Amino acid sequence: MSALFETWTLKQELPEPFARLVKANGGKRTSVKERDCSIYNTGKAKSATLHPPTLRAILWLIDLMGCRGSGAAGLQAGNEEINFYCMEYEKTDGKYALVYNGKNGKIKGLRLQNGKMEPLSPISGKGNGGEEYMALFAFMSVDGIGSIQNREFTSSFYDIRSHVEGENVLSDEELLSCAFVCCDNLYRRIEFGSMMGDDGIPLEESQLGNPDFITPYLLNTGIYNPNEVACGEFEILAVRTLHKETTLGALKGKFNQGRAYPEEYRRMIPALPDYYRVNTETQEILSMIVNTPARFFMLAGESGAGKTTDSKIIAQALGYPHFVFTCGPNTEETSLMVSILPNIDSCKQPEEHWPTMEDFLMDPASAVAELTGMYPENVESETAFRKILEEIYQRGYNRAKGEKDFIKKESTIIQACRMPSVIEIQEVSMIEKPGTLTRLNALFDDCAKTDLLNGEIIERHPDTVVIFTTNLDYVGCQMFNESVLSRMNLIQHRKGMSAKDMAKRAVERTGCNEFEIVQEMAQIVVNIHKYLTKKQVQGGVCGYRELENWVWSYLVSGEIVNASYHTVVSKASPYPEDREEILNTYILPYYEAAA
C-alpha cells in the first residue's frame, strides 16, 4: 500500500458534513454494501473505506469550482495530448504547486512558504496527509478534464457537489454512499492502476517520500506552466499563452530584439517570406528565448520535417544572424573550435626588381649591389654571380619558411558565440564519437567560457541561441552523450508533416495554385514513406523535399507521372525492384484511376 493510503491516513478527522453522517451511522467508516463500493472493487468480500484526505480534497475542489476557495487547477495541453495536469493547493503550512505527468506517473512540485520555495513535504504521519495529491487526482478524474477522466468518479463527485451547492439535496444515506464510492474509486485506480489500463492512475509511489522539486530556475523556464485554466487563478505556475499557428510576419513584431549588426552579419539574417506559417513548437522556443534564460534546444525528426526552416524562422523572428555548422562522421573536437582553410595569400608573389643578364654583364658589382645593398669593388664576375645566386636562394628560403599552405580560422560555432545569434549545428548524431560534442560543454555551462587552441579564452554571448537539428533513426546515426543532452533546455521530437501541411508549404514555396493536386501528390509521398518505413528500406528517402521537387518538375513539364520518376521514385530506393513496386503500387494506379 502506498503512503497515500496508510492506516494512519484513514484515522484522520473527517471533514463536515461527513463527520456528522458517520457519527449518526454509529461511527462506521467502512461499508460492505454493494452500492458503496466502486466498480473496480472486484473482490469476493467487498468493502469501501472513507479516506479523510480524499474527502477534504473533494470539498476543496467543489469550493474552487464554485469560485469560493483559493488555489487553481488546469493543464498544459500539447497538440494532441496533455503534457501536465497542474494544481495550486493552499494549506496551513504554505501554498503547494504540483504538476503531474500522466505518461510516467511522476509528480513534481514545490511549497511556497513565507516567500521561500521549498520541496514538497513528504507524506508522513508527522504532518502531511497528502490531500494535495488527492485533490490533483480528483481533478484529473472529473469528466471533461482530460484523458484520465472517469465516469464513476464524476457521477458521485457531481452528486456531492449538487448537494453542497444546494441544487439537489441528497439524503444522508445517498450522500454517504457517494463519499464511499469516490474514496474507493480513487483508492483502487491508484493502488491497482497498473492493472487497469486506461482506467488506472499511473503513479510512481517511490516519489511520495521524496517528491521531485521544481527549482526556482525550472519554474522560471515555464516548462511546467498551464495553458488552460479549469478553475481558480494560478499565482505560482504562471499561465502560459496557448500558441496557435500563425505567420512569420506576425511574429517578427512580437519577438524581434532590435539588435544592430555590421553589414557582413546583417546579410546573414534570414529573409523568408512573411506569409510563412509558424507552428506552435517553434513559437514555444521563441517564447522561452525571450522570457527565460533558456538558450539550448534540440530539434529531432526525419529529413524534411522542417527543422532547418524552423531554425531560420527563429533567427529571423529574433532579428539574429543565422550560422550553420554541419557535422559528419569524422567531425573532431578540433573542428568544433577551428576551421582549417587553404592559405590563398601564399600564392601571391611580392613585387621585386631583379637585375637582368645585361645588367650583370655590363657591371657585375652594380648587379650585386642592387640585390644586397652593398657594392663590392673589384669583384670578379664568378664571385658576383655566386653572391647573386646566394641572395636569391636565401630570399626564397625565408619566404617559404614564413608561408603556410593552410591557416587556422575560428569555427562558425565560435564566430556565432561572439554575438547575439542563432547557431544551427546540423546532424550531430552523425558524429561517430559521441564524446566529441563534450568539447562544447564548457560553452554551454553557466560560466559560458572555453579556451581556443591559441590560448584565447572565448566567452559565449548570453543571447547566443544554439539549436541542434538532427534525425535519430537513419543509418549511421549515433547515440548522444548524456552530458550534452542534460544541457538542452528543450528537446522537441518533430513528427513528419501531414499530407495537408506538406501541400500548404509546397504551394507557398513553389507558387503552384493547384492545391488539390498538390495535396494528392503529398498523400502519395506520405504513403511511400510509410512503405519505406514498414519494409525498412535503407538508402532511400521520401519526404517533403521530394514532394517540392516533384511539384517544381510538374510545373515545368505539366506531366505529373513523368515528373515523379526522377524526383520521387528514383530517391525512394537504390533497388530497382523497390522502385518498380513503388511506381506500380503508389503512383500509376492512382492517376490511372483519376483519369
The residue type of 44 is K
Which set of grid coordinates corresponds to residue 63?
469550493
pLDDT for the residue numbered 194: 76
Report which of 404, 401, 403, 392 is spatially closest to residue 352, judged by C-alpha positions: 392
CATH number for the domain including 416?
A: 3.40.50.300
More confident residue, 178 or 394: 178
Per-residue CA distances from 423 to 94, 312, 410, 415, 463 (Å) = 43, 10, 14, 9, 11
Does 240 fall in a domain? no
Q: Is residue 593 predicted with pLDDT exceeding 60?
A: no
- pLDDT, average across residues 414-435: 79
Percentage above 90 pLDDT, the chain: 32
Does 578 fall in a domain? yes
- pLDDT, average across residues 371-399: 76
- pLDDT, average across residues 508-529: 90
Question: Do 104 and 73 lie in a common domain?
Answer: yes
Report which of 416, 418, 407 is spatially closest to residue 456, judged by C-alpha positions: 418
Does 239 fall in a domain? no
Which set of grid coordinates corresponds to residue 268?
546573414
- List pLDDT tens digits, range 17-67: 999 999 998 899 999 999 999 999 988 889 999 999 999 999 999 999 998
Burial class (CB in 10 A: 0-12, 13-18, 19+), 23: exposed
pLDDT for the residue numbered 197: 81
How does DSSP assign 33-89, residue by residue?
-GGGS-TT--SSS--EE--HHHHHHHHHHHHHHTT-SS-EEEEEE-SSSEEEEEEEE
Quote the number of domains for the chain: 4
Ramachandran bin of 26, using left for φ above 0, alpha for ψ from -120 to 50, beta for the remaining angles: left
Q: What angle do CA 399, 404, 410 make, to 5 degrees?
A: 140
Question: Do 387 and 348 lie in a common domain?
Answer: yes
Report which of 251, 201, 178, 157 is spatially closest to residue 4, judged by C-alpha positions: 201
pLDDT for the residue numbered 392: 76
Please identify which residue in the block is written with the cell numbers 514545490: 110
Per-residue CA distances from 108 to 125, 161, 224 (Å) = 21, 28, 9
Which sign does the torsion angle of CA 258, 263, 268, 273 carry? Answer: positive
Contact 507, 537 (CB under 8 A): no
How does DSSP assign 246-265, residue by residue?
EEHHHHHHHH-------HHH
Does 43 fall in a domain? yes
Instruction: Mark which of 365, 382, 403 sits at the end of a domain.
Output: 403
- pLDDT, average across residues 64-85: 86
Query: Which of 240-244, 373-377, 454-458, 567-571 has the highest average model confidence (pLDDT)?
Result: 567-571
Which set of grid coordinates corresponds to residue 130?
497528502
pLDDT for the residue numbered 103: 82
Look at residue 558 and give its three-state secondary structure. coil
Range of the domain at 398: 344-403
Question: Chain-wide mean pLDDT for the chain?
Answer: 82
Which set of grid coordinates corresponds to residue 476?
549511421
Which set of grid coordinates corresponds to residue 173?
444515506
Q: Is residue 146 predicted with pLDDT exceeding 70?
A: no
Percentage above 70 pLDDT, the chain: 82
Contact 298, 468 (CB under 8 A): yes
- List pLDDT tens digits, range 179-197: 999 999 999 999 887 787 8
- pLDDT, average across residues 333-348: 57
Name the CA radius of gyration of the chain, rounded.
Answer: 36
pLDDT for the residue numbered 508: 84
- pLDDT, average across residues 80-102: 88
Does 238 fall in a domain? no
Report which of 144, 170, 138 is spatially closest to residue 62, judged by C-alpha positions: 138
DSSP 8-class letter at 284: H
Establish how many alpha carbons lie within 13 A of residue 525's alpha carbon, considering only the half-sphere containing its beta carbon: 32
pLDDT for the residue numbered 484: 62
pLDDT for the residue numbered 380: 80
Look at residue 376 and give its three-state secondary structure. coil
pLDDT for the residue numbered 595: 47
- pLDDT, average across residues 58-84: 87
More confident residue, 77 or 189: 189
Question: Do 423 and 560 lie in a common domain?
Answer: no
Q: Is residue 227 predicted with pLDDT exceeding 50?
A: yes
Which sign does the torsion angle of CA 565, 567, 568, 570 carry? Answer: positive
CA distance 183 to 158: 14
Instruction: Mark which of 494, 509, 537 sits at the end of a domain.
Output: 494
Question: Do 208 and 329 lie in a common domain?
Answer: no
Per-residue CA distances from 400 to 345, 396, 403 (Å) = 12, 6, 5
- List pLDDT tens digits, range 407-424: 556 778 888 888 999 999
Residue 333's pLDDT band (cuts 50, 70, 90)? low
Question: Do 134 and 149 lie in a common domain?
Answer: yes
Question: Do 285 and 364 lie in a common domain?
Answer: no
Contact 47, 62 (CB under 8 A): no
Report which of 393, 368, 389 is spatially closest to residue 379, judged by C-alpha positions: 368
Contact 270, 322 (CB under 8 A): yes
Q: What angle do CA 329, 332, 334 make, to 5 degrees?
A: 155
Ramachandran bin of 462, using left for φ above 0, alpha for ψ from -120 to 50, beta for the remaining angles: alpha
Query: Which of 243-252, 285-294, 312-321 has the highest average model confidence (pLDDT)?
Result: 312-321
Contact 51, 200 (CB under 8 A): no
Question: Do 351 and 336 lie in a common domain?
Answer: no
Look at residue 87 and give its three-state secondary structure. strand
Question: Do 335 and 474 lie in a common domain?
Answer: yes
The residue type of 213 is F
CA distance 489 to 595: 52
CA distance 385 to 376: 12
Please identify which residue in the block is written with the cell numbers 559560458: 448
pLDDT for the residue numbered 436: 58
Question: Do 78 and 129 lie in a common domain?
Answer: yes
pLDDT for the residue numbered 294: 86
Contact 30, 22 (CB under 8 A): no
Q: Which of 280-284, 364-368, 460-464 has the lowest mean pLDDT?
A: 364-368
Residue 476's pLDDT band (cuts 50, 70, 90)? very low
Question: Do 319 and 391 lie in a common domain?
Answer: no
More confident residue, 52 or 473: 52
CA distance 446 to 423: 18
Residue 475's pLDDT band (cuts 50, 70, 90)? very low
pLDDT for the residue numbered 134: 94
- Asked if the bond preceding 17 is cis, omega within 30° of 0, the reply is yes
Taking the whole predicted model, whether its pTM rises above 0.75 is answered as no
Contact 71, 64 (CB under 8 A): yes
Question: Do 113 and 196 lie in a common domain?
Answer: yes
Which sign does the torsion angle of CA 292, 295, 298, 304 carry? Answer: positive
Does 487 fall in a domain? yes
Residue 553's pLDDT band (cuts 50, 70, 90)? very high
Residue 241's pLDDT band (cuts 50, 70, 90)? low
pLDDT for the residue numbered 393: 67
Q: Is residue 175 predicted with pLDDT exceeding 70?
A: yes
pLDDT for the residue numbered 1: 62
CA distance 233 to 216: 20
Question: Do 433 and 545 lie in a common domain?
Answer: no
Instruction: Mark which of 447, 476, 494 sits at the end of a domain.
Output: 494
DSSP 8-class letter at 565: I
pLDDT for the residue numbered 379: 78
